[in-house]
A and B are shown apart, each in its own frame.
Chain A
Amino acid sequence: MARMKFLCDAERCIECNACVTACKNEHEVPWGINRRRVVTIDDGIPGEKSISVACMHCTDAPCQAVCPVDCFYTTDDGVVLHDKDICIGCGYCFYACPFGAPQYPQEGAFGARGKMDKCTFCAGGPESDNSQAELDKYGRNRLAEGKLPLCAEMCSTKALLAGDGDIVADLFRNRVVRRGGRPDTWGWNTAYKD
């Protein structure tokens, strides 16, 4: 069975933020919530690197492990989703997530948090596929339409890849071989700069 994964190639990402815009537009994500962000290291310095980050749909998801109401589940495709009807917005998943993926809309006064929202790998939620309820709560379900996440599909440099982890890994491995070695994002020259 396929396990859906994202991979961002730091050598190709040009920090255009089109993935962020595409995600917000496709799912009509409310103002103040970013399901996806582009993180840049050494911004403005020659050799800066950017990567696009969202929920990585972990195989052993920490958000799922810490949720006190057990609202997370993993689909047959390996996509980590949650049920907003039982989410209490406690924020535990936010603290557990190493990628800062869970987002919370501000509801009411005093910064009260609403139901958690995160990247769904364009797979919607537990509501019926492509129903209005699913669209309102979780956004579009592109996987049910036989499409992959829009952020990756429209990435102009093909830095962001989304699909079966095995196929994505093969594609990335071929790229690295073509480049004539490993990427410059890690190693002695990166870790121990003068």
Chain B
Amino acid sequence: MKKIISIVFATFILSACYEDTRVTLHEPGVYKGKRDTQTMPAEEREALLKLRFNEVQTDR
């Protein structure tokens, strides 16, 4: 009888153990800092940086 009770008890205890396979995902929040005001529009900067890349970073 004692053995049966211990088996039931052990089964009950072990059945409470499980591994949560869900991955915790974090989404970025809304930026709360100072606004970054660029002096140059993004399109203009893109064209300028493309020129620069071709000038200084292409293969020799």
Measured CB to CB, the residues of A under 8 A from B are 1-2, 4, 61-62, 64-67, 69-73, 75-77, 81-83, 85-86, 125-130, 143-144, 146-148, 152-153, 158, 161-164, 167, 171, 174-175
The distance in angstroms between the C-alpha atoms of A168 and B37, with both chains bound, is: 27
Please report the number of residue pairs spanning A and B whose Cβ atoms sit closer than 8 angstroms. Answer: 102
With both chains docked as a complex, state the minimum distance between the C-beta of B35 and any C-beta of chain A, in angstroms: 7
B29 touches A77 (CB 8 A): no
Chain A to chain B contacts (Cβ below 8 Å), 14 pairs: A1-B43, A65-B27, A71-B33, A72-B31, A75-B38, A86-B32, A126-B33, A128-B37, A144-B45, A148-B52, A148-B56, A163-B50, A164-B53, A171-B59
- B13-58 residues with Cβ-Cβ distance < 8 A to A are 26-40, 42-43, 45-46, 48-53, 56-58
**Are A1 and B42 also in contact (CB < 8 A) when A126-B35, A152-B57 are?**
yes
Residues in chain B near residue A4, CB distance under 8 A: 49
Residues in chain B near residue A86, CB distance under 8 A: 32-33
Name the contact of A73 in the complex, choosing from B31, B46, B57 (C-beta under 8 A): B31
Query: Quick check: is B3 within 8 A (CB to CB) of the other chain?
Result: no
Query: Quick check: is B2 within 8 A (CB to CB) of the other chain?
Result: no
The distance in angstroms between the C-alpha atoms of A66 and B28, with both chains bound, is: 7
Q: Enumerate the 7 nearest inter-chain pairs by beta-carbon distance, A residue then B residue, closest first.
A: A83-B33, A76-B42, A70-B29, A65-B26, A126-B34, A73-B31, A146-B48
Q: 14 more A-B contacts (CB under 8 A) besides A72-B28, A143-B49, A148-B49?
A: A1-B42, A1-B46, A61-B28, A62-B26, A67-B28, A77-B46, A126-B35, A129-B39, A146-B48, A148-B57, A152-B57, A164-B50, A171-B59, A174-B59
Residues in chain A near residue B34, CB distance under 8 A: 83, 85, 126-127
The distance in angstroms between the C-alpha atoms of A174 and B48, with both chains bound, is: 23
B50 touches A167 (CB 8 A): yes
B57 touches A162 (CB 8 A): yes
With both chains docked as a complex, state the minimum distance between the C-beta of A179 and any C-beta of chain B, in angstroms: 12
B36 touches A125 (CB 8 A): yes
Name the contact of B56 in the complex, choosing from A61, A67, A153, A167 (C-beta under 8 A): A153
With both chains docked as a complex, state the minimum distance between the C-beta of A48 and any C-beta of chain B, in angstroms: 23
With both chains docked as a complex, state the minimum distance between the C-beta of B33 and any C-beta of chain A, in angstroms: 3
The distance in angstroms between the C-alpha atoms of A163 and B50, with both chains bound, is: 8
B57 touches A126 (CB 8 A): no
